[in-house]
């Protein structure tokens, strides 16, 4: 836990500057961080500012609890510029992707149906709002951020690509095996603030109908090479490559 996150409604006290923790966050402070009264740690309000929490009281009876004095004085990191469009993967892989994509930095995730996605994937408990939020929060605490990505679920491909995609802003990039163009060739040369819509399909790739629809919406296709990667590996690799390209282009601008 590199930053302790909390909801605005958890603040208490006359000045709304007290935070009382129980459960796993309190246990983490007690047993992992081994902090004491008067010690401080980095904290952040979900979708809000970051700052310091100073421990003013700790208790172990009836379960561990920690009371903090909250001082929020720093903005979160800049909002990510990547919006991820992802063919819904197997549930165990989805859990890894939601966390890792949050760590790497995305502002929104669209989980969509494609021809190679099994219908049963949409019945997984991983898609329950509470489970999704917990995975995203794990990613934020690792990355030291407070901006919670939005996750949207689309159960039909055609309405998504024809009705939803035109409402999205950013340059569309379509990862697909067999394309001869590389990511660096389709990446925008305009600098660091360019928004990206990154579409990653199932391990077998998008089918011809899906590719044609993305291309019709202005997406540029590219390939990661001859090897077929697991989806969770491809997501991390592509987000890392996009960040490298963003930094490189911004420095040379």
Within this chain, do residues 148 and 224 fall inside the same structural domain, yes or no?
A: yes
Within this chain, do residues 143 and 240 fall inside the same structural domain, yes or no?
A: yes
Phi, psi dihedral angles at 213 (to 5 degrees): -70, -40
Q: Mean pLDDT across the chain, nearest whole number?
A: 92
pTM: 0.92
Residue 68 confidence (pLDDT): 96
Instruction: Grade residue 253 by pLDDT with cuts at 50, 70 and 90.
Output: low
Within this chain, do residues 50 and 119 fall inside the same structural domain, yes or no?
A: no
Higher pLDDT: 201 or 249? It is 201
Question: What are the tens digits of pLDDT across the range 170-190?
Answer: 999 999 988 889 999 998 876
Whether 22 shows a pLDDT value over 80: the answer reads: yes
Residue 61 confidence (pLDDT): 62
Question: What are the tens digits of pLDDT across the range 72-119?
Answer: 999 999 999 999 999 999 999 999 999 999 999 999 999 999 999 999
Domain boundary among 74, 108, 130: 74
Residue 189 confidence (pLDDT): 74
Within this chain, do residues 69 and 101 fall inside the same structural domain, yes or no?
A: no
CA geometry: angle at 31 spanning 74 and 139, to 5°?
45
Within this chain, do residues 56 and 96 fall inside the same structural domain, yes or no?
A: no
Within this chain, do residues 208 and 169 fall inside the same structural domain, yes or no?
A: yes
Whether 57 shows a pLDDT value over 80: the answer reads: yes
Query: Average pLDDT in the 236-253 region?
Result: 85
Within this chain, do residues 172 and 145 fall inside the same structural domain, yes or no?
A: yes
CATH of the domain at 120: 3.40.1280.10
Structural domain including 59 reads: 4-74
Residue 193 confidence (pLDDT): 57
CATH of the domain at 57: 2.40.240.20
Whether 191 shows a pLDDT value over 70: the answer reads: no
Query: Average pLDDT in the 27-40 region?
Result: 93
Within this chain, do residues 119 and 174 fall inside the same structural domain, yes or no?
A: yes
Query: Average pLDDT in the 119-141 region?
Result: 96
Q: Rounded to whole angstroms, how far apart are CA atoms 114 and 199?
A: 12
Q: Count of domains in the chain?
A: 2
Within this chain, do residues 190 and 92 fall inside the same structural domain, yes or no?
A: yes
Residue 179 confidence (pLDDT): 86
Question: What are the tens digits of pLDDT across the range 213-234?
Answer: 999 999 999 998 878 889 999 9
Judge contact between 249 and 191, C-beta under 8 A: yes
Judge contact between 205 and 177, C-beta under 8 A: yes
Domain boundary among 30, 48, 74: 74
Domain boundary among 15, 48, 74: 74
Q: Would you list the DSSP string of 104-137? A: H--SEEEEE--TTS-GGGGG-GGGSHHHHHHHHH
Residue 227 confidence (pLDDT): 80
Query: Average pLDDT in the 1-22 region?
Result: 93
Residue 190 confidence (pLDDT): 63
Within this chain, do residues 86 and 188 fall inside the same structural domain, yes or no?
A: yes
Cα separations (Å) of 16 from 24, 68, 70, 71, 216?
22, 11, 8, 10, 51
Residue 192 confidence (pLDDT): 47
Within this chain, do residues 10 and 115 fall inside the same structural domain, yes or no?
A: no
Within this chain, do residues 220 and 197 fall inside the same structural domain, yes or no?
A: yes
């Amino acid at each position: 836990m590199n930053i302790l996150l909390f909801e605005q409604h958890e603040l208490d006290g006359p000045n709304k500057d007290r935070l009382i923790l129980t459960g796993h966050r309190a246990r983490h402070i007690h047993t992992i961080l081994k902090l004491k009264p008067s010690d401080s740690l980095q904290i952040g309000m979900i979708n809000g500012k970051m700052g310091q929490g100073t421990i003013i009281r700790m208790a172990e009876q009836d379960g561990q609890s920690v009371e903090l004095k909250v001082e929020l004085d720093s903005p979160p990191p800049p909002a990510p510029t990547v919006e991820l469009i992802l063919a819904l993967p197997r549930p165990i892989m989805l859990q890894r992707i939601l966390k890792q994509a949050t760590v790497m930095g995305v502002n929104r995730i669209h989980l969509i149906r494609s021809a190679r996605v099994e219908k049963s994937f949409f019945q997984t408990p991983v898609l329950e709002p509470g489970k999704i939020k917990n995975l995203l929060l794990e990613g934020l605490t690792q990355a030291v951020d407070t901006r919670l990505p939005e996750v949207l679920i689309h159960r039909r491909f055609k309405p998504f690509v024809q009705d939803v995609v035109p409402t999205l802003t950013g340059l569309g990039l379509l990862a697909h095996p067999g394309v001869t163009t590389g990511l660096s060739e389709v990446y925008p040369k305009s600098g660091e603030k360019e928004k990206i819509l990154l579409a990653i399909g199932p391990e077998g790739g998008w089918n011809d109908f899906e590719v044609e629809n993305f291309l019709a919406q202005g997406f540029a296709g590219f390939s990661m090479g001859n090897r077929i990667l697991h989806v969770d590996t491809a997501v991390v690799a592509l987000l890392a490559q996009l960040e490298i390209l963003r930094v490189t282009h911004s420095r040379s601008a």
